[in-house]
Amino acid sequence: MMDFQSIVILIGLILVLVWIFNRKKTSKDNYCFDCKRPVIVKRRIGFFSVLASILTLGLWCVFVIPFYKGRCFICGGDNVGEGDSVMMEERRLKEVRKQEEALDELVRQRRTIAR
């Protein structure tokens, strides 16, 4: 049987593991489709995750928490994607819209000249 001091040290180590796995998921910029802005992605770890980590002697931290889905730090939504690709796509769409507007303007000018 373990004494009280060993149990406290074990629980402390498990809580440190939970804290380590709760840190920022990636260093890339992520984009929240709910907030419509770049955000930091974090995992949401609640009371039962900590309790499961303590009851499984830290195995929960190693095998389950790394697979928790990342959530938006601002709104808490889980509809998050990589920001680089999303922002590049938005920029490309803006450029296409500008080109379409310019073409529409040219067509209008030619129609007024033809009349």
Q: What is the pLDDT of residue 70?
A: 79
pLDDT for residue 87: 66
Q: Is 105 helix (H, G, I), strand (E, B) or coil?
A: helix
Please write the tens of the pLDDT for every residue from 9-42: 888 888 787 777 666 555 466 778 788 787 878 7
The residues, any chain, with a CB within 8 Å of residue 64's CB and separated by 6 or more, are: 49, 52
Domain boundaries, the chain: 4-82
Structure tokens given for 110: 């030619």
Beta bridge partners of 38: 31
Neighbours of 32 (CB within 10 A): 24
Query: Along the chain (115 residues), what's the average pLDDT of each consecutive run of 10 residues?
Result: 78 79 61 80 80 81 76 81 68 84 88 79
* Greatest alpha-carbon span in the chain: 98
Q: Which amino acid, residue 24?
A: K
Quick check: 103 and 54 in contact, CB under 8 A? no
